[in-house]
Amino acid sequence: MSSEQFTMQSESYYRGVVRRLRKNTYGMVGLGVLLILVLVAIFAPYIAPYDPNLPIPTPEGRSRRWQPPSERHILGTDSIGRDVLSRVIFASRVSLSVGLVATVITITIGIIIGSLAGFFGGWVDTVLMRFTDTILCFPVIFLCIALATMIRPSILNVMLIIGLVYWTRTARIVRAEFLRLREMEFSQAAVALGVRPGRIIARHLLPNAMSPIIVDATLRVAYAILMEATLSFLGVGVQEPIPSWGRMLHQATSISVLDGRAWLWVPPGIAILVTVLSINFLGDALRDALDPKLKNI
């Protein structure tokens, strides 16, 4: 089978993927919720009723701190008088941007290492996979916390830390696909014709290995959002006054807030739950659509 024939079969396959994905109710619900979240993040300045970083004074000049949900403040105000709803809306920008950028870094590193290991094999595969195994020896959460404490906390650093730690699974997936694809006829023919390895990887193997990479990338976004929330909750992620769902949950460490001011931590908690659940719904739907045999596994 030639590369062109294989590609034509792939195009027909992806049309079937789209058709199966549309029939998946949970996947469509997840996709719809994610689209709404993206629109909320994009148009946050026009949706949020108040500035998320500034306390809201009363007509007498006093702060509106610790106010419960009301008609004026749907989700109440926080400890310094900032509108909780506005902060939840703007925090969606942080979570989604961290999730997407960190995933791009993760997938890029994973594809580079996995493709080199799977295509060349031999000592290249051994060195790269032993390096991957070394990274896997460290608990991911502790590795992220250690890196975050050694550098200045910021959104960019959080993106880099998560992206530089979570690539190992992607590398293994890409390597496994390349080990399978390099034994196929079109790949062997390209090697026999003297096509450069970089061209074989980029033009022949990688496009045909995208199915599991797409599923993994979708789930990586959810992991990155959870990790950003964890780091911010622990105080080594996004810093004040930038709104972050994880940083807002940090207020729940106080007994008085947990017991009597649930409006401060329930909204960001629900936002994280809905976002991650929607991404997982979409990821599961993509997995079932890309490989229907896995649907009941």
What pLDDT, in 10s, does the model give residues 132-170?
998 888 888 888 888 888 888 788 888 999 998 889 999
pTM of the model: 0.86
**Banded model confidence at residue 224, pLDDT cuts 50, 70, 90:** very high
**Banded model confidence at residue 245, pLDDT cuts 50, 70, 90:** very high
* CB of 146 closer than 8 Å to CB of 87: no
Query: What separation in angstroms does the CA of 257 have from each of 88, 132, 180, 265, 282?
Result: 17, 42, 54, 8, 34
User: Structure tokens of 182?
Assistant: 């390099």
Helix residue ranges, H only, 53-184: 84-120, 122-136, 140-150, 155-165, 168-181
Rounded Cα–Cα distance for residues 230 and 245 (Å) = 9
Rounded Cα–Cα distance for residues 160 and 144 (Å) = 10
Q: Residue 294 pLDDT more than 80?
A: no
- Determine the 3-state secondary structure of 241 from DSSP: coil
**Banded model confidence at residue 181, pLDDT cuts 50, 70, 90:** confident
Give percent above pLDDT 90 in the chain.
Answer: 36
Rounded Cα–Cα distance for residues 117 and 164 (Å) = 18
Helix residue ranges, H only, 137-265: 140-150, 155-165, 168-181, 185-192, 197-199, 210-234, 245-249, 255-260
Rounded Cα–Cα distance for residues 234 and 99 (Å) = 18
DSSP assignment letter at 203: I
**Banded model confidence at residue 296, pLDDT cuts 50, 70, 90:** very low
Tell me what the mean pLDDT of segment 258-274 comes to.
Answer: 88
Each residue's pLDDT tens digit, 30-82: 999 999 999 999 999 999 999 898 888 766 656 678 888 888 888 888 888 88
**Banded model confidence at residue 13, pLDDT cuts 50, 70, 90:** low
- Domains of the chain (ranges, CATH numbers): 3-49+78-294 (1.10.3720.10)
